[in-house]
Every structure is written in C-alpha cells, then in structure tokens.
Structure 1
Amino acid sequence: MTSSDRERLRATFTEDAELYDRARPGYPPRMFDDLTGMVGLGAGCRVLEIGCGTGQATVPLARRGCRIVAVELGPQMAAVARRNLAGYRDDVQVLDAAFEDWPLPAEPFDVVFAATAFHWIDPAVRVERSAAALRPGGALATVATSHVAGGTEGFFVEVQNCYERFDPKTPPNLRLSTADEIVEDDEEITRSGRFDAATFLRYEWELHYTSAEYLDVLRTYSGHRALQPAARRDLLHCIEHLIEHNYEGGITKRYLTELRVARRRK
C-alpha cells in the first residue's frame, strides 16, 4: 500500500463514526484477560492506545483500571469514543491527533496498544515511535483481525461474483485463507532492534449477521467506502440479494483475532 493510498483509505473511517460504533465487531473478552496476565494491566498501568476508533477496545482496558491516553486521527470517531468512555473521565484521555505527529510525553508508558489500527500507521515510524513511548521492558501489543475460511462457506464463494462484477480491483477466483495459513509476523519488530521476539495468541470466533447487519459492516470497510457511489450501491444490492434469496436472510462470518505482544529491550 502506498502512503497516499493509506492516507486516503484510513480517512474513510471517520465519515460515519456512529455506523462504525454500531456495526463493527468487538474483540474476544478472553483476549483482554490474556493481555492482562501478560503485561500486568490494572490500576495505575499507563497505556497509550493508537487509533482507538470509537473505543471498542478502550472500554475493556478502562474497566481494568488502566490510565489511558488514546490518540485518534478522526475527530468524529474520537467524539464517539469520549461518549462511550464518559464513565472513565478521570483515567482516560482521548486526543484528536495522528500518532505520527503527536508529541510523545516525557513520562513513558507501560503499554502501547493498537487494536486493528497499527497497519494504518506510517511503517517508517510506527515501531520506533512505539519504542520511544515505552519504558524499558514495556510492551507493544497490537491486534489484527482477519476474515478466514469458515462460517457460511458457500456464501463467501458465491459472493465473489458480486465483487468481480462491481469492484474492478477484485482478483479473480479469490478464496479465503484458513487461520493456519495466516503467518505470524514479527519481522518488522525484530528488524528494528528495539524489541524482543514477539509472543502471539490467536482466537477464532464467529458472528451471525442478517443481511442488513452484514451490509452495515461492509459499509464500515475502507475498501467499500472508497468505491464510486454507484458501484458501491450495486455491489451491496448484489450481496443483499444473494443473502436473502440463497441463504434465508442471514450468514455467519468467521474471524481470526491475533494478539501480538513484544517487550521493549532494556
């Protein structure tokens, strides 16, 4: 992805923050329990969250008593996050800023955390700035979510016809990878020399969607939002028709959530 593509696509998320907050799936609760055990989340733990969105991952951290500074590029997203975190005003600060430009505070953090956001940060600076924000021995924890094979498998084969018809960037005969085929990747972190080898934890889970719910999720994805309006309308209509007529109005999607944790070298 070029830097211009990254800037253009990541800007689409703030266009409808309320839809994003309502439609996007959260994260497995067990992931936060595991992260707590690994890095010591709890009262007094200082956390810097990169790209908090509407606070879907921030709220579980706040419930554990963490002191959080959350940096969010989109002002509309940040506004919804502040609303969702209103009960934690003493411990959580949500800032409108791009992580690449935000001046790091003098006091270091115990954890730098990014949930489905780290890949949107400029790769030239994201690891180095994360290391600079951490105390020695502090943890960089990133979460990646992938759509993997499983769920209503027939639908995800058939729906490719809709994408190939209305999205010209769709590779022909594209098929989903299994969770086992998605490689654990800490090359960028290891290459920096600032972190020890990463630990990976993985969670596979499924969500059932009505056709309306599934279309709402798709409307939050940057690739769909970047389509021309007519193409997006026709694509979503094609998908809706497929779900309603071939799958009795609902489908199940299988997710892989991957937690990657690396300690800053002392």
Structure 2
Amino acid sequence: MATEEHDRERRQVFGDDAEQYDTARPGYPDRLVEDVLDFAALPASVPAVEVGAGTGKATLAFAARGTPVTCVEPDARMARVLRSRCTGLPHVAVEVADFETWRPDRAYGLLYCAQAWHWVDPAVRWARARAVLRPGGAVALFWNHWDLEDLRLAERLTAVHARYGLAVPPYTILDPRPRPAGRGPRARQWREMEADGGFAGMEHRLYESAHERSPSGLIELLASFSGYRALPAALRDRLFRDVGRAVEQDGGSAGVRVTSSLFLARSRA
C-alpha cells in the first residue's frame, strides 16, 4: 500500500507546474500517430479515449487528424492547460478523473496513452482497458525515451549530481541503465497483455529522432521528470544551476536522442 500511495503522489507532481511540463516535453513523431490511426482503422463515428492526457502533447496530434477524443486526466491542473490547448476543437472532450474509477457512457474504438500507462494501477489497468473498448478495439501505448548523445557530457552531469550526494533519478535522460524501449516482447507491457489474455495482434515499433537543447532547455526537460520534481526546491535549484554551467562549458548545447516506443494490440472480440 505504501508503494501505491507513493506512486500516486509521484504522478501528481507533474501538475505542480503544468505549464512548465507542457513547454519542456517534446511531442511524438507524426509517423507514430499515423501508424496508430492506421492500426486502429476507426470509423468516422467511433471516438478514441486518451488515458492520462496531461497537457495534450499527444492529444493535439490526434485531434489535428480529425479524431474525436475523450481525454481522461486525473490532475485538474494539467486538465486546465489541456482544455486551453484544445480551445476551438469541439471533437475533444476533457474529463477530470482517475482512469481506474472512470465510467464511460460509450465504447471506444481506440485507447491510447502517451507517457502515462505506468502510472495506472497495474491491478486493474488491463481490465479497465478491455471494459472501455468495443470488441476488436485497438490499444496504443507509447513513450519517449531520452539519451544524451555525448557520453562525456553525461558523465560530467552525473558527477554534478554526485557532488550533491544525489543519484540520477531512474528513467531520466542521464539514467545509465538500458532503456526499455527496444525490448519488444520482453517488455513489461507486452508480457502483461499476454498474461491478461484479453488482447491479440500485438506489435512493437520504434521511432528515432534527435534535437539540440540549450542549457536552459535541458534543465527544463530534467525539471519535467517526477524524480527531479520530488527534490526539495532549494536543492533542485542548486543542482540545475550547476547542470547549466556544465553544459555552457561544454559548448553551450546538448544533443538529445529520442527513441519513441509504441506497443499496439487489439481487444479480443
């Protein structure tokens, strides 16, 4: 129970500065969004549901292609930014609710979740997915995983953390452990869907991209991760000051590789 409560608290920290999160986080590849919609093959009248929509980083990409979307977001602060981003999009509805207890009034042809499925209670998430989908409905779960292109800079920034007695937070851009992006059938998401027995036609796809971050841009990205948001503000500010200085001394920018990992499946008829 303590772990579940901790996870619930961690997933709520993103709303502490929802605008900052929206600015810092990159979106998702156009090809990924198109592949999801091709896989789902939604009839025009059948909507999609987005779980943990946040501030709309994925929502806008699907809505721009005309997909009717119901967004389920547990944090009212994130939902407030989401609604502002979706002004003028009548085919996007926003509901503030936990997916675990949300009760839809219709069946959906596509359930997608960007960067948030791991926050949904594992005891019920697959049963809830099956409950909201019509037979044959599609599931699309995707994440961005980041790495610094310059390993030497990554080592310097890790040393900055060590000076403050801090380990690099897990699943962040400096985490040296292998990313789960390429695991395919060995990934937890795949194995859980197989074990649930309610899904078929599973696929895994990867998308690669890269961009440059200024010192402040890299700090903004770090600040969007829950492991950094959970630090005491004064300590976090000192850490980020030294991170920025290290990037400045290393040429003034940091190359970031992004691997977008997509899991697809269909609910069994």
- The two structures share one fold, judged by TM-score above 0.5: yes
Deviations 1:224-245 (A, max 9, x none): 0001223212211221111011
**How far apart are 1:176 and its partner, in Å?**
5.0
Alignment partners' CA distance in 1, 2:165 and 2:260:
26
Q: What is the TM-score of this pair, normalised by structure 1? A: 0.91
After superposition, residues 185-204 of structure 1 pair within 5 angstroms as 185=187, 186-204=190-208
Deviations 1:122-154 (A, max 9, x none): 111111100110011001110122124x52222
CA gap 1:206/1:41 in 2 versus in 1, 3 angstroms: farther
Equivalent residue for 2:264, pick from 249, 261, 265:
261
What corresponds to 1:104 in structure 2?
Answer: 104
Alignment partners' CA distance in 2, 1:36 and 1:59:
14
Alignment partners' CA distance in 2, 1:63 and 1:219:
28
CA gap 1:13/1:212 in 2 versus in 1, 3 angstroms: same
Contact 1:45 1:65 in 2 (8 A): no
**How far apart are 1:167 and its partner, in Å?**
5.4
**How far apart are 1:86 and its partner, in Å?**
1.1
2:252 matches 1:249: yes
Q: What is the TM-score of this pair, normalised by structure 2? A: 0.90
Identity of aligned residues (%): 32
Alignment partners' CA distance in 2, 1:119 and 1:224:
18
Question: Which residue identity does 1:239 align to in structure 2?
Answer: V
CA gap 1:152/1:169 in 2 versus in 1, 3 angstroms: closer
What corresponds to 2:152 in structure 1?
Answer: 154
2:176 matches 1:175: yes
- What root-mean-square deviation, in Å, do the aligned CA atoms of Structure 1 and Structure 2 show? 2.0
Deviations 1:194-213 (A, max 9, x none): 11142011011112100011
Question: Which residue identity does 2:213 align to in structure 1?
Answer: Y
Contact 1:167 1:231 in 2 (8 A): no
After superposition, residues 1-266 of structure 1 pair within 5 angstroms as 2-41=3-42, 43-89=44-90, 91-105=91-105, 107-148=106-147, 151-166=149-164, 168-170=166-168, 175-177=176-178, 182-184=182-184, 185=187, 186-245=190-249, 247-266=250-269
Contact 2:111 2:129 in 1 (8 A): yes
Q: Where does the alignment leave 5 or more consecutive residues of structure 2 unmatched?
A: none
Contact 1:42 1:64 in 2 (8 A): no
CA gap 1:43/1:154 in 2 versus in 1, 3 angstroms: farther
Question: Which residue identity does 2:123 align to in structure 1?
Answer: A
Alignment partners' CA distance in 2, 1:98 and 1:164:
37
Q: How many residues align?
A: 260
Contact 2:39 2:138 in 1 (8 A): no
**How far apart are 1:44 and its partner, in Å?**
2.6
